[in-house]
């Protein structure tokens, strides 16, 4: 089991006191499995993703990633986990403008000490980026930049990939193509994928689908 979320709760402070967002959420994900997480705006989808990625901390409950309990980790330990075992793909591409495509792809893997040039080359080729490796992000289209972001994440060879609306900024045709490439590459690398999406079309392409409503999995 790559991911286990058990009875997680999370609330945020509001003008009238604490506002519960997650009310005892549990789910799990095995190696090589893909899972879509849907829900209305404000249902806690991105909050849950951030908790799993160690970008925020739970109020109660437990989260294990690759057999390690992350809710008791320090900030630096969670950062190390993101470098080694967890890859995060956001709707915003978050590429480094001063680095070439090739350097952007290598960046996370070099931080993790897992960079393999042959693996990076194969990923770049599979994502149609070979001829763009010497370019800078500003010279690429939105779809190409998202492919670079995906390649950067997968080059680090994470056990778990977290994706938050990764094709939300792309037109329908480009989004479908990028998603197909992403699913194929995740399958080939054996990583587990948890994707937040508002799109039922995208959700149907995942192996499993869970829905968040009023802080609960339904």
Give me the domain span that covers residue 129. 33-51+74-217
212 assigned to some structural domain: yes
115 assigned to some structural domain: yes
57 assigned to some structural domain: no
Task: Note the pLDDT of residue 92.
Answer: 85
28 assigned to some structural domain: no
What is the value of pTM for the model shown?
A: 0.91
140 assigned to some structural domain: yes
Q: What is the CATH classification number for the domain harbouring 100?
A: 3.40.50.300
Listing DSSP states for the chain in one string gives: --EEEEEEEEEEEETTEEEEEEEEEEEEE-TT-EEEEEESTTSSHHHHHHHHTTSS--SEEEEEETTEE-TT--HHHHHHHHHHTEEEE-SS----TTS-HHHHHHHHHHHHT---HHHHHHHHHHTT-GGGTTS-GGGS-HHHHHHHHHHHHHHT--SEEEEESTTTTS-HHHHHHHHHHHHHHHHHHT-EEEEE-S-HHHHHTSSEEEEEETTEE-
Task: Note the pLDDT of residue 14.
Answer: 84
20 assigned to some structural domain: no
9 assigned to some structural domain: no
Q: How many domains does the chain have?
A: 1
Task: Note the pLDDT of residue 39.
Answer: 94
69 assigned to some structural domain: no
Tens of pLDDT along the chain (218 residues)?
Answer: 999 999 999 999 988 889 999 999 999 999 999 999 999 988 999 999 999 999 999 999 999 999 999 999 999 999 999 888 999 998 888 999 999 999 999 999 999 899 999 999 999 998 999 999 999 999 999 999 999 999 999 999 999 999 998 888 778 888 888 889 889 888 888 899 999 998 899 999 999 999 999 899 98
């Amino acid at each position: 089991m790559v991911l286990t979320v058990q009875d997680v709760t999370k609330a945020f402070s509001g003008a009238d006191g604490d506002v519960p967002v997650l009310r005892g959420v549990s789910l799990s994900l095995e190696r090589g499995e893909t899972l879509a997480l849907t829900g209305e705006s404000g249902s806690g989808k991105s909050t849950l993703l951030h908790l799993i990625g160690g970008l925020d901390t739970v109020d109660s409950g437990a989260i294990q990633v690759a057999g390690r309990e992350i809710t008791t980790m320090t900030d630096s330990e969670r950062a190390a986990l993101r470098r080694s075992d967890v890859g995060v793909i956001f709707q915003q591409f978050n590429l480094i403008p001063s680095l070439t495509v090739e350097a952007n792809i290598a960046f996370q893997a070099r931080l993790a000490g897992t960079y393999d040039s042959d693996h990076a080359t194969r990923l770049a080729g599979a994502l149609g980026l070979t001829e763009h490796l010497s370019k800078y992000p500003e010279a690429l289209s939105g779809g190409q930049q998202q492919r670079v972001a995906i390649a950067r994440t997968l080059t680090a060879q994470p056990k778990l990939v977290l994706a938050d609306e990764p094709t939300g900024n792309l037109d329908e045709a480009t989004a479908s193509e990028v998603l197909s490439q992403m699913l194929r590459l995740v399958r080939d690398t054996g990583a587990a994928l948890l994707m937040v999406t508002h799109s039922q079309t995208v959700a149907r392409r995942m192996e499993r689908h869970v829905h968040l409503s009023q802080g609960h999995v339904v």
